[in-house]
Each structure stands twice: as C-alpha cells, then as structure tokens.
Amino acid sequence: MPDLASEEAALGRWPRRLLHVPSLTSYEWQAGNRYGNAVAPEYNAITYTWGRWRLKDEPSYERPEITALPITGIAWPIPRVKPEHFTPEQLQRVLRNAASFRPNHIDFRRRKSVDFVWLDVACIDQRASEPRSAAEIGRQAAIFREAQNVCVWFTTLEKEIIARTVTSLVDFSESMALHGSRNETAIVEDVLRFLSDPWFSSLWTLQEAFLRVDAFILDKEGELVEYPACTERWGNPALLDVLDSACRWSAISTEERSVWSAQGLYSRVSQLVEERGFKALASFNAMSTYVAALRRMTTEPEDRIYGIQQIFEFRLGKSALDAKPGHNYSLAELEDQLGEALIIRYPILSQFHVFTKQTSPGKRWRMNSSSVIPPGAGDQGYPLWESAEVDQPRCSFSIEHSAHTKFVQWSGPITPLCELIKTCKSVIENFEICERLGADNMMFIYLDAAEELAGSPECQVLDYHLPQTPRQKQLREWMIGQFRQEELQVLLLGPSSTKSCSYKLGVVMLHREHGEWARLGICSWETITDFDLPLSDKLLPKLEFLVGDGLGWKRGEGIYGYL
C-alpha cells in the first residue's frame, strides 16, 4: 500500500501526472516537479464528457474495431469511446489545440502556449484497484485551479452554433434586442440545442466549471470559439460570459414572456438554465452548486459525491488519505460523510434547503436528492445563501457516539416558534418599522415534506414556491394550533447582516422523545439594527429578542439525527 500522505506532501499542488502533447506521453511527477525533461511546466486542462459513451472491454470486447488514442507511459488502457460521441482523431486535435491556443478576453489575461495538458484518462490511473486513482480524484480542486488555462470541450456542437448562440445570449440579456426579430424562434432553438450538449448535464463537469468559470470554449472539432466578426464583440467568450448571460436571459424572458412569440420555447430555456445549475455557478456559491449537482447525471451512483466533493475541497470515501484499504464506500456512506463535513463547517448554509419528498426524521439533518433551495426566497429582498465564507453561526453541530450509535447533536439558542411569531407580529405593527421595511410581514416559514405536517396548508404545494403574506399568516396560525408551545422550537442558526437591516435564519424543530428533535423546515425573519427611529421602551426588548439576545432565548442541545 503506497504512503499517499507522504507522496502528496511532496507533490504539493502538482498533479501526479501530466500529458506531454507533442509525444502523447503521460509523465509521472518526479522530485523537483519534473515531468520528463520539463521542470515545473505550465499546463492546461480539459473538461469534457466521455463516461456515458465508454465501450465495454469486459466481459466481452464491445465493438473491437474501435481503438483508443495511443498514449504511452502508462500501465492502464485508455478507455475506448463510442465514435458517435468523439473519435481518437478528434481527441488528438483537441489536445493539440488545448495546448497551443492563446485566448483573448477583456477580463482574463493572455496566456502562452504549453506542451503539457491534464487529461483525466491519461493522468488518472483508470484501474479501479489503484489507490492513487481515488486519491487523485480528491485533488481536482488543486489540479484545475493551478492549470494555466482550462478548456470546455463541447463534443456535439459545431463552432457556428456555439458562436451564434453565445452572441445571442449576450446581446439579448443586455438589450432585449431579440424581441421582434424575424429569426426569434430559430435563435431560441439554437439556445436549446446549445444547452442540450451533454457537458451541461454531467456532474463532473459541474464541479470543474465551479473550479474554473474562466474556462474557454472548444467546439466538437477542438477549435477555439470566437465571437463572430459581424458583432461588436471581439476575442473569445469564456464560460462565465455564458453563465451570466443565460441567467439574465432566463430572468428577462420569465418577466416578459407574455410578449414573446416563442414564449413556450423561452420557458424551456429558463427551465434548462435552472436545471443545469447556471445560477448556482454564476453565484460562485458552493452550497447552491451542490443543490444543483443533485440534478446532474452520473455513470456510477457513488460519483454523485466524488464528482462534486472538491467544490468544498473535501476528500471523502476512497479519495481520503485515511480511507479504509479495499473498502467500497456506498452512496449512503458517502452522503453521510459529505453531510457531516458540511454541517460542521457550514452550520447555517447546510440547513438552508427544504425536502420536497418525505424523509425519515433521523435523516433530515443533511441534504438529499429531494432538497431544493426554496424558489423565490431570494426575491424577498435579502440573499439568503449569499456566501458560505460568512456563515457566522450562532449554533453548532457535532458528531457524537454512544455504545452502538453515531448521531448528530445540535447546541445553541432556542425559542418557541409561537413566541417568535408573536414578536414579529407585534414589531411589524409599528408604523415606522413597517414603512422602513416596506412590507407588512417580516417572517417566512419554509416547510419540509414531512409526515408530521400532513395537515399543513402548504403540505401539498408541489412546486415549493414561497408562500406569500396571506398564506404565511395562515401557515403560522396552523403551526401554533397544531403543536404545543414547548415541543415546537426554533434553533437560531445565525445572522447575515446588512448596514441597517438584517435577517436571521432558524431551523423549526419538533421535540420527540429521549432528547430527539425532528426538523420540520426552516424560517427566516428580519431584524432591526441602526434605526434612527423613536422606539418605545416596550419595543426595544422585542428588537433584542429578534436578533437572538435577551429574554425568550435559552441554550439547549439535543439529538438532530443519526448516521
């Protein structure tokens, strides 16, 4: 068994292997950061798809006439791929162009040509039994971030379609000039064709896109995409240009779709932009990207974790340096490992989601494939999950062990939900505060799909939209009437402040028995800070309560779920 920890201490942030493109030789890292005769070479990387089109070598040799790219210096066979997806000749052209291209972009510096490229099939041992293979999967963040340049290879799209589509996205999102165009429907169909490339549905490429949104685009033949000469733009579009423009396209077409002649197609574009995780990537937020990852495709079930873990720079399962030798980690084990790492590092953001399918109480402590960030929540005037880097928790979660059980424990300030509802109602009745907030409601509840909530007014809402003010009132009244005060509590997750107004986030929990608590959903409420308003002595304690201080809050702890 290799000493992976010592190896990686020597490697630093260098890949275990790099592919020398002129000779198609994969060189292993040597002391002094040498690859062949090169010392500390600059390298580029390629993000693309191939797993779904891999030809089988066992138990029978599928389509034996199909060969793989002849790469030397490795002990494993390069996977063969169905030629309908790409051929060895196409891959070789992509490698040459990925090494030699010098893109121009207004926001990204010029880069030089290189001789080395990081290509997964040539630089990660493809034998399942090789521990270094799993370890290198756990180093994708370092590999992609240290690459001089990254290329997105769209294996199904011609250059003309990509350039035309990217230009249309940018122009439309900036000027809405597409409306009324004679070619409106044709252009929207181009956008749909563009978004159907398999790169946009792969989980691995979502991770790679998060790591390098400054990647440039290659067409199916490996040619670098440029803005058409007939446009006012110049140079080469980057992935971030596509993400930003597609998100603006989606927002505009949603608001104005009644005036578009192709409104059904626009709706499909908006749906794909959401499903493909464009908004999450454009936000640079790892947690919302993880939620988007739950809707991406994988070849193996376990890849659902291995293919996204590095956006948090986590190393889980067999990719961890302390992984159990020879142990095949199940998807359930990996989901628990990821959930454990997230809830400890990001107590607030790890909880800001709702379950759209019923989940057992003991497993509600972590996200699962039914989790979504409540649609529309960000429209209330505050970005509820803006940054994982400023999580600022007021509570904590820990992993504890009993004789035969491993469980998640919460610890932090709690208050009865009915007290929080009553205080918010009292504060918003103040005219000056109501005017300042510009709303007559300062608290929102987002319920999970949970068996305990079968009679809730929002239980059967399939699209999980944010209930607006009238329905929020109905929901709050139902919650207060359904449960006893002492059994329905809010755990204060933490703050996220702006200059004069802020909000707090909490988990709505139901006390069960033996110290166990079941998550029922989440809630948010606005707090008042730095107001130069004449406030009464009766109102000030209520404002202190809303920021998590003063009477009404007490420290508590309990069991939140089980691993």
DSSP secondary structure letters along 164-178: HHHHHHHHHHHH-TT
Q: Does 462 score more than 60 pLDDT?
A: no
- The confidence score (pLDDT) of residue 431 equals 64
For residue 136, what are its two tokens? 């290198």
557 assigned to some structural domain: yes
> What whole-number distance in Å separates Cα of residue 258 and Cα of residue 54?
44
- The confidence score (pLDDT) of residue 466 equals 57
Range of the domain at 508: 345-562
Tell which wins on pLDDT, 290 or 518: 518
Q: Does 18 score more than 70 pLDDT?
A: yes
45 assigned to some structural domain: no
Contact yes or no for 41/53 (Cβ under 8 A):
no
> What whole-number distance in Å separates Cα of residue 206 and Cα of residue 307?
8
Alpha-carbon 213 to chain mean position: 13
Q: What is the pLDDT of residues 120-133, one digit of tens each?
A: 999 999 987 888 99
409 assigned to some structural domain: yes
> What whole-number distance in Å separates Cα of residue 69 and Cα of residue 93?
11
For residue 197, what are its two tokens? 């490339």
For residue 22, what are its two tokens? 């002129």
Sign for the CA dihedral angle at 137, 138, 142, 145 comes to positive
Say whether 219 sits in a helix, a strand or coil: coil
Q: Does 37 score more than 80 pLDDT?
A: yes
Contact yes or no for 175/357 (Cβ under 8 A):
no
- The confidence score (pLDDT) of residue 379 equals 41
What integer best gives the mean pLDDT of the chain?
A: 86
Tell which wins on pLDDT, 372 or 52: 52
User: For the chain, what's the residue count?
Assistant: 563
Average pLDDT over residues 246-274: 70
Lowest-confidence segment of 87-91, 143-147, 227-231, 509-513 by average pLDDT: 227-231
Number of domains the chain contains: 1
- Burial per residue of 478-510, b for 16 or more beta-carbon CB atoms within 10 angstroms, e otherwise: bbbeebeeeebbbbbbbbbbeeebbbbbbbbbb
Most confident stretch, 156-160, 226-230, 451-455:
156-160
Lowest-confidence segment of 30-44, 253-267, 341-355 by average pLDDT: 253-267
- The confidence score (pLDDT) of residue 286 equals 83
73 assigned to some structural domain: no
349 assigned to some structural domain: yes
Tell which wins on pLDDT, 249 or 217: 217
Average pLDDT over residues 406-433: 89
- The confidence score (pLDDT) of residue 28 equals 97
69 assigned to some structural domain: no
- The confidence score (pLDDT) of residue 262 equals 53
CA count, 13 A, side-chain hemisphere, 539 = 17
- The confidence score (pLDDT) of residue 85 equals 97
Average pLDDT over residues 363-387: 66
For residue 349, what are its two tokens? 């953001």
pTM: 0.85
123 assigned to some structural domain: no
- The confidence score (pLDDT) of residue 464 equals 55
Q: What is the pLDDT of residues 301-358, one digit of tens each?
A: 999 999 999 999 999 999 999 999 889 999 999 999 999 999 999 898 899 889 988 9
46 assigned to some structural domain: no
CA angle in degrees (0–180, nearest 5) for 240-191-159? 75
Select from 525, 503, 504, 539 the least CA-distant residue to 431. Answer: 539
